[in-house]
Structure 1
Amino acid sequence: MNRAQFLRLMLGGAAMAALPSFARAQAGRYDFWFTRLKYDSGDWDVDARMPSNLITSLIDYTTLRVDPTERVIALSDPRMLDAPFCYLAGHKLVEFNAAERQNFVRYVRNGGFVFVDDCNHDIDGLFAKSFEAQMAKLFGPAALKKLPNTHALYRSFFKFPDGPPATGFELNGWGDDLVHDYLKGIEVDGRLGVLYSNKDYGCEWDYDWRNKRFLAEDNTRFGVNIVMYALNN
């Protein structure tokens, strides 16, 4: 059973019935839709071109039925509970309110997948410190752990034997001037529910998809791995 099937099973008829009829129809029409989570405390609306770039890569490389339009849903909105994949990013404070905390925990514990990206590329920055503090409160101080380079994420579609690819922001000294050779995650019952990056992938992939042809290698390929892992594990 993949993650999308697991989510539908766990959420069951009650959650689906709460969705408008249009949303239920869309959920059956697509295998994947990109959901950006809006939260009250910080600047959630970053790297605006990244979703369309990643969506284009999924259409080009995979056979998934992909919704071509990014969806923006408040973390406090129960509709986010039915998303097969969620994205949360920013530069500023991450301090969830009660409804946001409840939905985040319920979503992750029920089989959901959230990719969280620190746009500061700074392990001592406000986003990193506040987000990690939130995860410690919600899942325990030891829940967020480094992923080994042997993790299935790095071979879920393309092969990345050396672990997470570096970004240009790391190599050019942006943020904390470090190359982070790891990602972190939170597992629940053997499933990776939160994937956390200080590498600023969102900004790395924030360019018009039509300019991808000028790259020596498509740097969104790792984004394809993230999505394929999220859907199939």
Structure 2
Amino acid sequence: MKHMLLLLCLLTSIVLSATVDGALRTGFARLQYDGGGDWYNDPEILPNLARYANSVMNAGFPNDQSTVRASDPKLFDYPFIFLTGHGNIRFSEREVDNLRTWMLRGGFLYADDDYGMDASFRREIRRIFPERELTELDSSFPLFTSFYDFSTGLPKIHLHDEKPPKAYGIFDDNGRMVCLYTYESNISDGWADPSTHNDPPDVRDIALKFGVNILHYVMHK
């Protein structure tokens, strides 16, 4: 038992001392989480975004989707992690610690509320960064014009209600945005196959273009 505890401590220290090794062009991953929310919905959205970004940015993103848990040391292989869902999110204490370390050492988390995860995401991100606030981003923030011009603001892809779409960021001590959270926008729904949500081509194109802006911003910051 003593040896097992020592091994566990060693493995934990390795994870927490790791740095983010991957380059964004090596791909990005979807975050798998507990709590009951559908972290897995629309599995085609990241491959579709990769294909679109490759066509306009000549980026060379892999056209597949990886998944990773925040407790997995492989988290540090990915510089960009995507999180979405409609329901509850819950991280363990180890996952909270790993996500904090990962973001402060170069990782970027993009969370898109697929209508229904707002309360739990805000609760969990507060556990990760109790000393930092989600700061609302207006259209003058560089993300909105990093590749395509979205100076009119964040698009609203699905009209669940009349609330305006909003974007929020969390920043480290050097001013680098480590987390982007989009709310009441459903941007990632627009990355899905046309048959998934029956979105018209122009709506999907807007959503994919904003996705390119996110990737371009992260690559150049």
Distance 1:98 1:140, change over 3 A: closer
Q: Which has the higher contact order (CA 8 A, sep 6+)?
A: 1
SS of equivalent residue, structure 1 residue 149: coil
Residue matched to 2:6: none
Q: What number of residue pairs does the alignment pair up? A: 198
Structure 1 consecutive aligned stretches of length 4 or more whose deviation exceeds 4 Å: none
Structure 1 CA distance, aligned partners of 2:162 and 2:61? 35
* 1:228 maps to amino acid: H
TM-score normalised by length of structure 2: 0.80
1:150 aligns with 2:118: no
Residue matched to 1:139: 129
Contact 1:87 1:114 in 2 (8 A): yes
Distance 1:141 1:133, change over 3 A: farther
Q: State the Cα distance separating 1:106 from its structure 2 match.
A: 0.8
Any gaps of 5 or more consecutive residues in structure 2? 1-13
SS of equivalent residue, structure 1 residue 31: helix
Cα root mean square deviation, aligned: 2.6
Q: State the Cα distance separating 1:51 from its structure 2 match.
A: 1.2
User: Which one of the candidate residues 14, 34, 37 is aligned to 2:31?
Assistant: 37
Q: State the Cα distance separating 1:86 from its structure 2 match.
A: 0.6
Alignment of 1:180-219 (within 5 A): 180-188=164-172, 189-198=174-183, 199-208=185-194, 215-216=201-202, 218-219=205-206
- Give a deviation string over 1:41-82, Cα, whole Å, max 9, x none: 232101222112101111100121211111111121111122
SS of equivalent residue, structure 1 residue 166: coil
SS of equivalent residue, structure 1 residue 37: strand
Q: State the Cα distance separating 1:179 from its structure 2 match.
A: 3.9
Residue matched to 1:113: 108
Q: State the Cα distance separating 1:141 from its structure 2 match.
A: 6.3
Structure 2 CA distance, aligned partners of 1:230 and 1:151? 13
Any gaps of 5 or more consecutive residues in structure 1? 1-10, 17-23
Structure 2 CA distance, aligned partners of 1:103 and 1:157? 31
TM-score normalised by length of structure 1: 0.77
State percent identity of aligned pairs.
28
